[in-house]
Structure 1
Amino acid sequence: MSKLSPADLDRYIFSRTGAANDDLFVGAGYGEDAAAVATDEGTMVVTTDPISLAAKRIGTLGVAIASNDVAACGGIPKWLVSTILLPEPDVDVLDDITAQLDAEATRLGITIVGGHTETVAGLSRPLLSLTCLGPTDRYVPTSGASPGDAVILTKGAGIEGTAVLATDFRGDLESAGVDVETVDRAAGFFDDISVLPESAVLSSVATAMHDPTEGGVLNGLVELACASGVRIDVERDAVPVRPETRAVCEAMGVDPIRILGSGALLATVPADETDSVLTALADEGIEATVVATVESPTDDDECGVVSDGEHYTGGVQDDMYDLWD
């Protein structure tokens, strides 16, 4: 599994969006987490996301990831439509998935309003596709970063990836020498997957926000930088990584900044707002770190991210994908 290039997305996706509509405020675009549609009562944020790899907690992650995309645009996730595709008619698997969907949606205050469930020949594991909707008073795009803005990362790299490794690959981790207590704490990172609390703090001042998912924090930074037409130089040591994440990533041979990154929120804020934003996040008990400053590229080819001497201008492959092969 790998991400399509920005050029392929432009050619095959973003240029083929059906009839024009004056109510579409923000539509499909590289790096954008969600669309924004004008309604009589304000702006509605709409997003959709599939999930198939995290077998143990697929329902929990599905709700969190879909709602994160709405929150990362400044919206309040309210409604969810759930499509569940199963490789075979297994009611025990369906029971697990729908119980997880119900519990996480209830925890986050989201109503599941409908969906579709069926079995599909050829699937090797369950597949979810979730659509989330919610209103916003101020839509925050991925593409709004400006030179001079501070780049803030909440929590740390690989939050989602850490939790998935600790559950789907627990036996491998213990065989590699990771102690049981560390694996247990890592599995507890599922409780940190939602970014609704930090989005509520940041949405009123952020120039751009983005929820890093596949490809981790590194790919999230690339998408934000390319969507905004800017350059971001980031030192690896500037990106916070929790000890549990380091332990499970080292055992599995993956890079913490290139694994499933939901649970962190990337935001750019004006330099003169940085201290007050960090204080507000700390007051809510949310870890946050300034990892870089947005820079102006000298030409179009310089948009993207520079890290460890390498220049990234397109999708970054997630290190975890190969673990399921």
Structure 2
Amino acid sequence: MEENNDKNKTCSVLSSTYNGRPYFINADGQHVVTKCWEVQGGDKVIRAILLICHDVAEHCLRYEAFAEEIVHRRIQVYSHDHVGHGGSEGVAVDILDFKTYVRDTLQHIDIIRQIHSYAKIFILGHGMGGTIAIKAVLSRPKEFAGCVLIGPAITPTPDQASAFSQFIDKTAASFAPLFGVTKIDPDSLSSHPKEIVDYIQDPLVYHGRLRARHCVIFMEAMEELERKIYSIDWPFFVLHGERDKRCSLEGSKLLFEKASSMDKKFKIYPDQRHSLHHEAPEKAEVVKGDIVAWLVKRI
């Protein structure tokens, strides 16, 4: 694995590419493709680092517009496609252990830290990426200056938590782990027609049914996270759409109420859905502005 030593000219993780993109090799020998939105002017003008953890079934390039907004504030943005997502290696939206997502995220942090020795590092997670981000910070709280969560998956939705749904998922996972049990409704992500069409037409998005094994492992990760909420004592900002049907608004409320953090913020966005950064432009700009303001205040 050949490291790129020119830290100021490029923020590629490696000098070679996989599926046309920089990558790192995770502990399982899989290619994990990465993306960097670079602050112009070299390392000296970078004020902080933000690592984005994307949601289930999507990929990190869907955060392009959002990342460019952040970069304008001299915050360098990194992200990667989780294994089984986008351009990374692995069976589409399948995982044997949720800890793999967290482990890969921390490995990416280690690579970033080699490039930026002293910069403050923030992490942002959306949906399932929120679960990953929280678990990453819980693993290494001193590594991160703060955590931003957009519609995070903290607790199951009523549908996910129903005894019948869990029975079906666990039964299917036992006999046919790759069996598709549920599908993401694009309309649940945004109320903006263009954003819905973009999602549907995106070839890197997984449009099939979410697999039984993945659903069960994801549920177990949320259950474990819920038991650790009280131990969260680091800065965070949680944003949630009032009409989010993908991830539970009650979970975000629980996080805000039960976490022991002294520096915590919670905002509900009326009449908005799951992907707040992909709502209508005038609504998305408010969300981006709120996140930028929170980050800048803590740099």
TM above 0.5, yes or no, is no
TM-score after normalising by structure 1: 0.25
Greater length-normalized contact order (CA 8 Å, ≥ 6 residues apart)? 1
Larger Rg: 1
TM-score after normalising by structure 2: 0.26
